[in-house]
Amino acid sequence: MGGTTSFDLKTYLDARRERVDAALDRYLPPEDSRPETLHRAMRYSVFSGGKRIRPVFCMAAYEACGGAGDAVLPVACSLELIHTYSLIHDDLPCMDDDDMRRGKPTSHKVFGEATAVLAGDALLTFAMELVVEAGGRLMDPLTALRIAAEITKAAGSDGMVAGQVLDMECENRQVDESLMEYIHSRKTGKLITASVRCGAIAAGADDVLLEKLSAYGSRLGLAFQIIDDILDEEGSFGELKSGKGLDGERGKATYPRVFGLERSKAAAAGLVADAARAVDGLGEGFAPLAALAEFVASRNS
């Protein structure tokens, strides 16, 4: 990865993940504050080995567009908290019924279903609090509001939650390519696109630049989901995930299930190339975004 440039992606990623982890630890309510169980459950899932991809996309777009300093941190963390809440709820027995995630027992296995539901609710609520409060302190109010609107739209009933609902409804059903793209662009794509867009908005990017970054984010977000499903299918990643079986085995409408591995790999590669092209020629500051596209394409976990 990063072979075509001298840019060192690993150092870049590590530095940003460290900043995000430290900020999340600072922001989240301490475990010894009441209600302790809830706060423990919130932190358990947030610090369970997430790759912080959404915060990194957000920070990379922020920096590429000329942003500096910590103003973007509450936004970056908010995106990770929304991702985390969605995983907790997706893992519930009434949803995907997953006992394990990232090699650790899922929230409801550790804390019980009721606390898992409420920990998800609290994380979603806290994600919004971070943007409107800490974000509102560090950015001008109009920018903070605009970012909060982007995030709520990406996470809501025409965004991530829509993807989740359709994903369930289409289990063991025939789906065409357009429905598939609808589902996957929402399940993962919209929040990743919002991550890139929010970073750019925080830095004051103009509409032309924002358009390019939206294209980058939406292509890469969809590629990310397809590659996830390819890795699931090939088993290299899946065996770590769950004892209950993979999305494919569960009858979910994944790209590799519906179109086969080869066509899925080609689709992902095409999307990644589109994403890289969208930020091509925008200058040195956009090199990390280009490298992140390559990283998404080449990841094997």
Taking the C-alpha atoms of residue 239 and residue 269, their distance in angstroms, rounded to an integer, is: 24
Q: Which range binds a second copy by CB under 8 A, 6-14, 48-56, 147-155, 268-276?
A: 147-155
95 closest CA partner among 111, 78, 117: 117
- 213, two tokens: 């970054």
Residue closer to a second copy by CB (options 31, 274) is: 31
Q: By CB under 8 A, what part of segment 193-222 binds a second copy?
A: none
> Least distance (Å) from a second copy to the CB of residue 171?
11
Is 31 among the residues that bind a second copy (CB under 8 A)? no
Residue closer to a second copy by CB (options 162, 273) is: 162
Is 289 among the residues that bind a second copy (CB under 8 A)? no
> Least distance (Å) from a second copy to the CB of residue 165?
4
101 forms bridges with which residues in the sheet?
A: 104
> Least distance (Å) from a second copy to the CB of residue 213?
21
Q: Which range binds a second copy by CB under 8 A, 62-70, 129-137, 206-214, 278-286?
A: 129-137
Give me the helices (H) in the chain, please: 9-27, 36-46, 53-64, 73-91, 107-111, 113-129, 136-138, 141-155, 160-169, 177-184, 190-202, 207-234, 238-241, 255-259, 261-278, 287-298
Q: By CB under 8 A, what part of segment 68-127 binds a second copy?
A: 85, 89, 92, 94-95, 112-115, 117-118, 120-122, 124-126
Q: What is the DSSP letter of 104?
A: E
Residue closer to a second copy by CB (options 131, 227) is: 131
- Which residue bears the tokens 């950015």? 139
- 229, two tokens: 């499903």
> Least distance (Å) from a second copy to the CB of residue 79?
13
Reduce the DSSP state of residue 15 to 3 states and report it.
helix
Residue closer to a second copy by CB (options 136, 204) is: 136
Question: In the set 157, 177, 240, 263, which binds a second copy (CB under 8 A)?
Answer: 157
Is 42 among the residues that bind a second copy (CB under 8 A)? yes
Is 30 among the residues that bind a second copy (CB under 8 A)? no
Q: Could you check whether the bond before residue 35 is cis, i.e. omega within 30 degrees of 0?
A: yes
Report the alpha-carbon angle 147-47-158, nearest 5: 35
Per-residue burial over 27-51, b = 16 or more CB atoms within 10 Å of its CB, e = otherwise:
bbeeeeeeeeebbbbbbbbbebebe
Binding footprint of a second copy on the chain (CB under 8 A): 29, 33-35, 37-39, 42, 85, 89, 92, 94-95, 112-115, 117-118, 120-122, 124-126, 128-129, 132-133, 136, 140-142, 144-146, 148-149, 152-153, 155-158, 161-162, 164-166, 168-169, 182
